[in-house]
Chain A
């Protein structure tokens, strides 16, 4: 798509000036802004910024929540040939210093007092930051810092300038070329400084168009803009695709009203990370358990029907007449009202991405008639690399490569991508660019995965974590710890898992039970227990966990690549893995290496074939005191399955079909 962001705006403004472009809920009412209004606002902002001295090629920071004025500012900056850098509104002041100095930023748009205070706080470290424009004047009347002005003043000065230069926007916008830099997004590196990912008009718009074509998005679609604008996904869904498709972007009243606004708007195109879907499901389940017997009975009965019939219907498969009738009855009584309650009544396409989604969670939404799918991509690829087609959504893949994308799997299992949406470079960082972007144009994702028999991409782990089994029956088989851990964690009874197997002859895991879920399970079975440690070592609990492990093994055995990652032995830990004890990172990821050192006796016992092992560990309490926990842990074997060969799989599949 050979065009630019401001060009697209001008096209919409001339072809459908009165159609709604954005809505913002303010003072309890959804206020619409037409494409013509939008173009006028952008013209005034661009003229204002031009007069304030924003030059072609320089960078401007925008920081704030989703508001029409924030997006209009980005358009105005791009129209002037400058480059917007959206920053996360919840980033700490210190985190903003690097991007601002890295790109030598002189201009900033800040949503409100909170963001202004943050930028003023770092002004000493960023002396070149001369111009600060704030949108919301609340609390700002007594500020008299130099260079601080309201967006209203900026608009007024732009308006005055526009009287003399009515075609300012179109003349300036015409100067931009599709291959010019359009935006820069900073990605938080786990180590070192963040890196600025540079994208051109073409890389962003090309991908936006590919995604829009894939799901047939039109001007009639509705989107709720509620994720941070600094995240490239939000930028694609509420900005690039907004301009490409011309749909309406709705800005919620405040962060606290998102669920209410979602119901009022009823978006047709929706994105959320798995944890949002999980949160919604939990709230539904809790409210259902509090409902009357009749309602609860009806809900559970029809949810069973949905589980059986829904996904098949969604995938366009044949379903018997009786099931079809039951499902449509359920749709009237349960699924429809439920979708409405969640704000998903009109959802035509919903996506999730970012982390692995549990199959039960995924199936739940699809079974009640929500077209939830997965996609694969990152900041560096302008999101769209792989997408799941409407009738082929599955919990464990991320879809087929979309238009224009080439994928190949390197020898070490790393996924390499070639796409028109690839980053131009990392800003002022040629070493980092060279690391991920090879001379022949392949982008190294650092994700390990493979293309399955149906042509879907399957992500298994980070490349650096993938190992090999050494010795034993599965010598040389691929071992993907996170893949195994995630599969186990999808069971509600399992909270945390650490898997070992790299360079060993078999896979062993240490498991944390979910105290609430297993405690509840035990109570319903009249199984008495004294506390976490006691509950974790109950033989009934071991049986429960063993079933989970074996289910995962059965699943893995059907997987040609990962059949060797089946879990041979497991144990249930006597204490919860905790960030305070250094066992988890602050973002709750297991620190495999640290745990292996700390619990080396348990690892030795697992691989040494023992059936029990005494362990004593020091624990740190929240107030800094330490204590000791000791227990004799059971170690158990799990059944493994002979790998199902692809041909066998096909045969059983055919037999089932017959």
Chain B
């Protein structure tokens, strides 16, 4: 099989430190993400993985450090701006509209791309309707891609957890992101659901060329699908490299398995 082409650095974090009062969530973290790669962030519970993602997409503002996206440096990211720049994300604890259908949930991901205003949309004026058709088509392609055609009209709250996660991914894909941040997309899934989700992540990366930053607990999954891995422990970076390098890193082994002193 042909190997995929990994590009230049698209996103980098430099010396990020974040603390909540006296609690240091992140200390002096730096790493970069290259275009088209699958970059994983791993670490034990409370290592600061989600905090790291939240800094990147502007939910938290780090006290120190900066973030570079496509060559532009930011002291802090603004979440709306992050989305328009092309960084999408999914959530560890699903944040879907439970009463709305799968279709409408994914459609909501197109929000940023819709040009016509509320009034035009409400009155279904020509251009607004045409625009809706275009977006509907984009959404239908995502539904087809994620193989959830059978649930198009089902309220999300009625779906099993694994499918809800897929809808969450669908909504993130709807904004056609260049970088996709996935916060534990496989948590709480059974083996079969995990395999499906792995395939979707790989396909997104492969077919759309989307760069993926992935937080995941399942080591098997991480080592299988990642190009490079960052390891955090107690808010500090203890490892960075290819899955093989990380697997043989002494510090990483002791963080995961514990050491005898």
A residues near B (Cβ < 8 Å) are 26-29, 138-139, 141-144, 253-254, 256-257, 260
Q: Is the CB of A143 within 8 A of B1?
A: yes
Q: Does B196 contact A (CB under 8 A)?
A: no
Q: Is the CB of B140 within 8 A of A28?
A: yes
In the bound assembly, the distance between CA atoms of A26 and B137 in angstroms comes to 11
Q: Is the CB of B149 within 8 A of A142?
A: no
User: Whole-angstrom distance from the CB of B134 to the nearest CB of chain A?
Assistant: 12
Q: Does B141 contact A (CB under 8 A)?
A: yes
Please tell me which one of the listed residues A27, A28, A142, A253 contacts residue B1 in the complex, with CB atoms under 8 A apart: A142
The answer to whether residues A27 and B150 also contact, given A142-B1, A144-B2 and a CB cut-off of 8 A, is: no
Please tell me which one of the listed residues B1, B147, B149 contacts residue A144 in the complex, with CB atoms under 8 A apart: B1
- In the complex, the chain B residue whose C-beta lies closest to that of A254 is B149
Contacts of B141 in A (CB 8 A): 27
Q: Top 5 nearest A-B pairs by Cβ distance?
A: A256-B150, A27-B140, A142-B1, A257-B150, A28-B140
Contacts of A142 in B (CB 8 A): 1-2, 4, 206
Task: Mark contacts of B140-172 with chain A using CB atoms, 8 A cut-off: 1 yes-contact digit, 0 otherwise.
Answer: 110111010110100000000000000000000
Q: Is the CB of B206 within 8 A of A27?
A: no
- In the complex, the chain B residue whose C-beta lies closest to that of A29 is B140
Q: Is the CB of B149 within 8 A of A139?
A: no
The answer to whether residues A28 and B143 also contact, given A142-B2, A254-B150, A260-B150 and a CB cut-off of 8 A, is: yes
Q: Does B207 contact A (CB under 8 A)?
A: yes
Q: Is the CB of A141 within 8 A of B150?
A: no
User: Whole-angstrom distance from the CB of B112 to the nearest CB of chain A?
Assistant: 22
Contacts of A253 in B (CB 8 A): 149-150
In the bound assembly, the distance between CA atoms of A260 and B153 in angstroms comes to 10
User: Whole-angstrom distance from the CB of A290 to the nearest CB of chain B?
Assistant: 15
11 of the cross-chain contacts (CB-CB < 8 Å) are A26-B144, A27-B137, A27-B140, A27-B144, A28-B136, A29-B140, A142-B1, A143-B1, A144-B1, A256-B150, A257-B149
Contacts of B199 in A (CB 8 A): 139
Contacts of B143 in A (CB 8 A): 27-28
In the bound assembly, the distance between CA atoms of A29 and B133 in angstroms comes to 12
Q: Is the CB of B206 within 8 A of A141?
A: yes
In the bound assembly, the distance between CA atoms of A139 and B199 in angstroms comes to 9
Q: Does B73 contact A (CB under 8 A)?
A: no
In the bound assembly, the distance between CA atoms of A281 and B29 in angstroms comes to 61
Please tell me which one of the listed residues A28, A138, A141 contacts residue B149 in the complex, with CB atoms under 8 A apart: A28
In the bound assembly, the distance between CA atoms of A488 and B145 in angstroms comes to 48
Q: Is the CB of A28 within 8 A of B152?
A: yes
- In the complex, the chain A residue whose C-beta lies closest to that of B202 is A139
Contacts of B136 in A (CB 8 A): 28
Contacts of A27 in B (CB 8 A): 137, 140-141, 143-144
Using A27-B144, A256-B149 as known contacts, list a sample of 8 further A-B pairs with CB atoms less than 8 Å apart, ordered by residue number in A: A27-B143, A138-B145, A139-B199, A139-B206, A141-B206, A142-B1, A144-B2, A256-B150
- In the complex, the chain B residue whose C-beta lies closest to that of A144 is B2
In the bound assembly, the distance between CA atoms of A28 and B147 in angstroms comes to 12
- In the complex, the chain A residue whose C-beta lies closest to that of B199 is A139
Q: Is the CB of B147 within 8 A of A254?
A: yes
Contacts of A257 in B (CB 8 A): 149-150
Task: Mark contacts of B116-146 with chain A using CB atoms, 8 A cut-off: 1 yes-contact digit, 0 otherwise.
Answer: 0000000000000000000011001101110
- In the complex, the chain A residue whose C-beta lies closest to that of B3 is A142
Contacts of A141 in B (CB 8 A): 206-207
Q: Does B245 contact A (CB under 8 A)?
A: no
In the bound assembly, the distance between CA atoms of A99 and B39 in angstroms comes to 45
User: Whole-angstrom distance from the CB of A111 to the nearest CB of chain B?
Assistant: 14
In the bound assembly, the distance between CA atoms of A280 and B80 in angstroms comes to 48
Q: Does B250 contact A (CB under 8 A)?
A: no
Q: Is the CB of A139 within 8 A of B1?
A: no
Among B136, B141, B143, B149, the most chain A Cβ lie within 10 Å of the Cβ of B149
Contacts of B28 in A (CB 8 A): none
Contacts of A138 in B (CB 8 A): 145, 203, 207
8 Å CB interface, B174-221 against A: 199, 203, 206-207
Contacts of B152 in A (CB 8 A): 28
In the bound assembly, the distance between CA atoms of A528 and B149 in angstroms comes to 47
8 Å CB interface, B202-244 against A: 203, 206-207
User: Whole-angstrom distance from the CB of A79 to the nearest CB of chain B?
Assistant: 31
Contacts of B203 in A (CB 8 A): 138-139
User: Whole-angstrom distance from the CB of B57 to the nearest CB of chain A?
Assistant: 29
- In the complex, the chain B residue whose C-beta lies closest to that of A142 is B1
In the bound assembly, the distance between CA atoms of A253 and B140 in angstroms comes to 12
User: Whole-angstrom distance from the CB of A256 to the nearest CB of chain B?
Assistant: 4
User: Whole-angstrom distance from the CB of A515 to the nearest CB of chain B?
Assistant: 27
Among B4, B140, B150, the most chain A Cβ lie within 10 Å of the Cβ of B150
- In the complex, the chain A residue whose C-beta lies closest to that of B136 is A28
User: Whole-angstrom distance from the CB of B140 to the nearest CB of chain A?
Assistant: 4
- In the complex, the chain A residue whose C-beta lies closest to that of B2 is A142
User: Whole-angstrom distance from the CB of A640 to the nearest CB of chain B?
Assistant: 51
In the bound assembly, the distance between CA atoms of A144 and B143 in angstroms comes to 28
- In the complex, the chain B residue whose C-beta lies closest to that of A143 is B1
User: Whole-angstrom distance from the CB of B103 to the nearest CB of chain A?
Assistant: 8
Contacts of A254 in B (CB 8 A): 147, 149-150
User: Whole-angstrom distance from the CB of B228 to the nearest CB of chain A?
Assistant: 20
- In the complex, the chain A residue whose C-beta lies closest to that of B144 is A27
In the bound assembly, the distance between CA atoms of A28 and B102 in angstroms comes to 13
User: Whole-angstrom distance from the CB of B160 to the nearest CB of chain A?
Assistant: 13
In the bound assembly, the distance between CA atoms of A260 and B147 in angstroms comes to 15
- In the complex, the chain B residue whose C-beta lies closest to that of A252 is B149
In the bound assembly, the distance between CA atoms of A139 and B200 in angstroms comes to 10
- In the complex, the chain A residue whose C-beta lies closest to that of B138 is A27
Contacts of B147 in A (CB 8 A): 254
- In the complex, the chain B residue whose C-beta lies closest to that of A27 is B140
- In the complex, the chain B residue whose C-beta lies closest to that of A253 is B149
User: Whole-angstrom distance from the CB of A134 to the nearest CB of chain B?
Assistant: 15
User: Whole-angstrom distance from the CB of B252 to the nearest CB of chain A?
Assistant: 30
In the bound assembly, the distance between CA atoms of A141 and B207 in angstroms comes to 8
Contacts of B2 in A (CB 8 A): 142, 144
- In the complex, the chain B residue whose C-beta lies closest to that of A137 is B207
User: Whole-angstrom distance from the CB of A49 to the nearest CB of chain B?
Assistant: 27
In the bound assembly, the distance between CA atoms of A6 and B130 in angstroms comes to 41
In the bound assembly, the distance between CA atoms of A257 and B149 in angstroms comes to 7
- In the complex, the chain A residue whose C-beta lies closest to that of B147 is A254
8 Å CB interface, B1-58 against A: 1-2, 4
In the bound assembly, the distance between CA atoms of A141 and B2 in angstroms comes to 9
Contacts of A28 in B (CB 8 A): 136, 140, 143, 149, 152
User: Whole-angstrom distance from the CB of A71 to the nearest CB of chain B?
Assistant: 21
In the bound assembly, the distance between CA atoms of A139 and B202 in angstroms comes to 9
In the bound assembly, the distance between CA atoms of A260 and B152 in angstroms comes to 10
User: Whole-angstrom distance from the CB of B101 to the nearest CB of chain A?
Assistant: 12
In the bound assembly, the distance between CA atoms of A142 and B4 in angstroms comes to 9
User: Whole-angstrom distance from the CB of A23 to the nearest CB of chain B?
Assistant: 15
User: Whole-angstrom distance from the CB of B218 to the nearest CB of chain A?
Assistant: 22
In the bound assembly, the distance between CA atoms of A29 and B136 in angstroms comes to 11
In the bound assembly, the distance between CA atoms of A143 and B149 in angstroms comes to 27
User: Whole-angstrom distance from the CB of A38 to the nearest CB of chain B?
Assistant: 23
In the bound assembly, the distance between CA atoms of A139 and B206 in angstroms comes to 8
Contacts of B206 in A (CB 8 A): 139, 141-142
Contacts of A256 in B (CB 8 A): 149-150
Contacts of B207 in A (CB 8 A): 138-139, 141
Contacts of A143 in B (CB 8 A): 1
In the bound assembly, the distance between CA atoms of A254 and B147 in angstroms comes to 8
In the bound assembly, the distance between CA atoms of A257 and B144 in angstroms comes to 12
Contacts of A29 in B (CB 8 A): 140
In the bound assembly, the distance between CA atoms of A368 and B207 in angstroms comes to 49
User: Whole-angstrom distance from the CB of B171 to the nearest CB of chain A?
Assistant: 17
In the bound assembly, the distance between CA atoms of A253 and B137 in angstroms comes to 15
In the bound assembly, the distance between CA atoms of A139 and B208 in angstroms comes to 11
Contacts of B150 in A (CB 8 A): 253-254, 256-257, 260
